[in-house]
Amino acid sequence: MERKPCHLVQSPAKWTVLVSPVRAEIVEALRLIGPCSMAEIGATIDRPADALYKHLELLQQAGFVVEAGFRKGERNVEQLFDVVADDFMIDFQDGTGANENKAIVTTANSFLKAMARAVRDSAAARQLEFHPDTRNLSINYELSWLTPEAFQELRGLIHQIKQLMDAGKRRREGRLYMSLAIATPVTRRRGARKPAKVGEEKSAKEHPAKTIAKKKKTK
Walk along the chain (219 residues) and give the pLDDT tens digit of each residue. 789 999 999 999 999 999 999 999 999 999 999 999 999 999 999 999 999 999 999 999 999 999 999 998 777 899 999 999 999 999 998 778 899 999 999 999 999 999 999 999 999 999 999 999 999 999 999 999 999 999 999 999 999 999 999 999 999 899 999 999 999 999 988 765 666 665 655 555 555 554 444 444 444
Q: Are residues 57 and 142 in the same domain?
A: no
**Is 214 among the domain residues?**
no
User: Residue 96 has what pLDDT?
Assistant: 82
Q: What is the pTM of this model?
A: 0.80
Exposed e or buried b per residue across 45-59, where buried means at least 16 C-beta atoms within 10 angstroms of its C-beta: bebeeeebeebbebb
**Is 176 among the domain residues?**
yes
Owning domain of residue 104? 4-127
Q: Are residues 122 and 144 in the same domain?
A: no
Q: Are residues 81 and 168 in the same domain?
A: no
Q: Are residues 19 and 77 in the same domain?
A: yes
Q: Are residues 121 and 20 in the same domain?
A: yes
DSSP category for residue 187: -
* C-alpha–C-alpha distance, residues 13 and 61, integer Å: 12
* C-alpha–C-alpha distance, residues 26 and 11, integer Å: 20
Q: Are residues 167 and 100 in the same domain?
A: no
Is residue 3 a contact partner of residue 83, using CB atoms and an 8 Å limit? Answer: yes
Q: Where are the alpha helices (DSSP H) in 2-128?
A: 12-19, 21-33, 38-45, 53-61, 98-124
**Is 216 among the domain residues?**
no
* C-alpha–C-alpha distance, residues 102 and 19, integer Å: 12
Q: Are residues 26 and 119 in the same domain?
A: yes
Helix (H), strand (E) at residue 137: none
* C-alpha–C-alpha distance, residues 105 and 85, integer Å: 23
**Is 51 among the domain residues?**
yes
Q: Are residues 63 and 120 in the same domain?
A: yes
Q: Are residues 114 and 69 in the same domain?
A: yes
**Is 199 among the domain residues?**
no
Q: Are residues 51 and 97 in the same domain?
A: yes
Domain count, the chain: 2
